[in-house]
Amino acid sequence: MVEVKEIHKSFGDIKVLKGISTTFEKGKTNLIIGQSGSGKTVFLKCLLGLFTPEQGTISYDGKVYSELSADDKRELRAEMGMVFQGSALFDSMTIAENVMFPLRMFTKQSKSEMEDRVDFVLKRVNLADAHKKKPSEASGGMQKRVAIARAIVNNPKYLFCDEPNSGLDPKTAIVIDNLIQEITQEYNITTMINSHDMNSVMEIGQKIVFLKDGLKAWEGSNETIFKTDNETVTDFVYSSELMKKVRQMYLEEKQ
Amino acid sequence: MSYLHNIGAYFLMIKEMFRKPTKWSVMRGLIFKDIDDLVIGSLGIVAFISFFVGGVVTIQTALNISNPLIPKYLVGFATRQSVILEFAPTFISIIMAGKVGSFITSSIGTMRVTEQIDALEVMGINAINYLVFPKFIAMMLYPFVISIAMFLGIIGGMAACVYGGFSTLDDYITGVQMDFIPFHMTYAFIKTFVFAFLLATIPSFYGYYMKGGALEVGKASTTAFVWTSVMIILLNYVLTQMLLS
């Protein structure tokens, strides 16, 4: 479980996060949503330890990040997996080498053990035949799946995803969403996803935190987001006519 | 203020480069890759430039010796001194600041832009040690490149001298061997090690701490080249003053 208490983050005079508190539960897909510029990416980078908040605390299963020593922070980070918006695969390595990288860095496994684990996770993300390809030879969807495989190969406790669906077609986006949700439940990890994609919100948003202007404007789930009267949320989530109709139909069906 | 900030950040990067080392089994591969990219990959251009600049130094020296009382073997002597003391260690290092320096800055900068460095940091890896330390170790073989530059510069001078008809082969070799001071080699290699350190670290600094996109990668490469060259020239002066005067 990841617990966030009153975190503030500024860049110069610009206050990006203005006191956010929330909890991300284990075994659930937690979505952070909001408009561009609402502070989602900065929030995610604070959760990852890439940015240091000026105030507030972030604790991972009871360990307060800011109170840890540099070595303990590194150890904690080794328990995190991250899927970056642009996948962030290492260009100089093949897909198999990319996935094997965390194992080579943090485990004492033999080469054959590492290869077996890489085979397993690549099969898990439906990329059984892509071992020898370079990231530049893979499509956007494949790169995202490789990034997921790399993030989970070392059995992380926390999985972070920054816009995992950006640049993907709707069908591939659903595949990626389902994969993340399955992996979260299968390995009982705490998953935090930064997303713009309303499909993801409806499909896998077991917990949703809505940010606006650096503040938490609302939190709930994909069930409660249909019923909420919070105008800030409804203006954002149901901004298109199609989504308004979907919501209306859902509410009528429930009645 | 920004200069002071950059100087402080540079020295903190150097300190961080030696902390929390990457696993040796991984580091070994990175070092060999960087030796290939930075050292072996530079041999061709260094050999080409050294041979022809050695030739030009010889021709210029020969053409400027108009007094018949000055012995012809001085052409070989002047070429040796120019090549060993300045051309090979300093001039080649400026060229390497362009070739190796821009490669280092652009490769690390691209990793920054594409979030690959963030990925390393998220995994708990000391990204500075992972990226910069292998380049530093690889560049410790840089004196090997400079030795080849010295040898080929003198050979290029010999070819230009003999085939250009400026003096005989015997005169040239006599000049090359005349009044040789072994400490000049020590001086040249001390400079080379210092320049190797600058060549590995200054471009890494500009690549690692760059912000922005593809355009900024280009700007960072240019800035890295400028500052590496400035530091090479400055330290060349300081070391020459300290070691030779």
Confidence category of residue B233, pLDDT binned at 50, 70, 90: very high
H or E element in which residue A82 lies? strand A80-83
Give the angle subtended at the CA of B77 by the CAs of B73 and B79, to the nearest 5°: 115
pLDDT band at B1 (very low <50, low <70, confident <90, very high): low
Lookup: tokens for B220: 């960072």
**Which of A75, A86, A160 is the closest to B115 by Cβ?**
A86
Look at B119 and A88 and tell me if their CB atoms are within 8 Å: yes
| Residue B26 contacts A, CB cutoff 8 Å | yes
| Rg of chain A in Å (alpha carbons) | 19
Residues of B with Cβ-Cβ distance to A164 under 8 angstroms? none
Alpha carbon distances (Å) from A224 to A191, A202, A230 = 20, 10, 11
**Choice between B185 and A174, residue whose per-residue pLDDT is larger:** B185
Distance CA A131, CA A129 (A): 6
CA distance A89 to chain B (A): 7
Whole-angstrom Cα distance, residue B202 to residue B229?
Answer: 10
Do β-strands A29-34 and A55-60 pair in parallel, antiparallel, or remain unpaired? unpaired
Domains of chain A: 2-224 (3.40.50.300)
Complex-level ipTM: 0.80
Give the pLDDT confidence score for residue B72 in this predicted structure: 87
How far apart, in whole angstroms, are the C-alpha atoms of residue A204 and residue A201?
A: 6
**pLDDT (tens digit per residue) in B51-97:** 999 999 999 999 988 788 888 899 999 999 999 999 999 999 999 99
Dihedral angle sign, alpha carbons of residues A131, A136, A138, A142: positive
**pLDDT on residue A189:** 92
Mean of the per-residue pLDDT values of chain B: 93
Residues 6+ apart with CB under 8 A from B44: none
Mutate to test the interface with B, among A91, A105, A162 (most CBs of B within 10 A): A105
Buried b (16+ CB within 10 A) or exposed e, A187-203: eebbbbbbbebbebbbb
Q: Is the pLDDT of residue B141 over 90?
A: yes
CB atoms A88 and B116 under 8 Å: yes
| Cβ-based contacts of A49 with chain B (< 8 Å) | 122
Token digits of residue A197:
């994609």
Q: B23 versus A94: which is more confidently predicted? A: A94
Asked if the Cβ–Cβ distance from B25 to A75 is below 8 Å, we say: no
- Closest approach of chain A CAs to the CA of B200, in angstroms? 20
> Is B58 near chain A, with CB under 8 Å?
no
Query: Who's near B162: CB < 8 A, 6+ residues apart?
Result: B168, B169, B172
Q: What ranges do the domains of chain B cover?
A: 23-244
List the A29-34 sheet strands across, edge first.
A80-83, A158-162, A190-194, A29-34, A207-212, A215-220
User: Are B79 and B57 spatial neighbours (Cβ–Cβ below 8 Å)?
Assistant: yes
The token duo for B59 is 């021709």
- Given an 8 Å threshold on Cβ–Cβ distance, is A88 in contact with B25? no
Low-confidence ranges of chain A (pLDDT < 50): none
Contact B118 A88 (CB under 8 A): yes
Tell whether B20 is within 8 A of chain A (Cβ).
yes
Given this model, what pLDDT does residue B190 score? 96
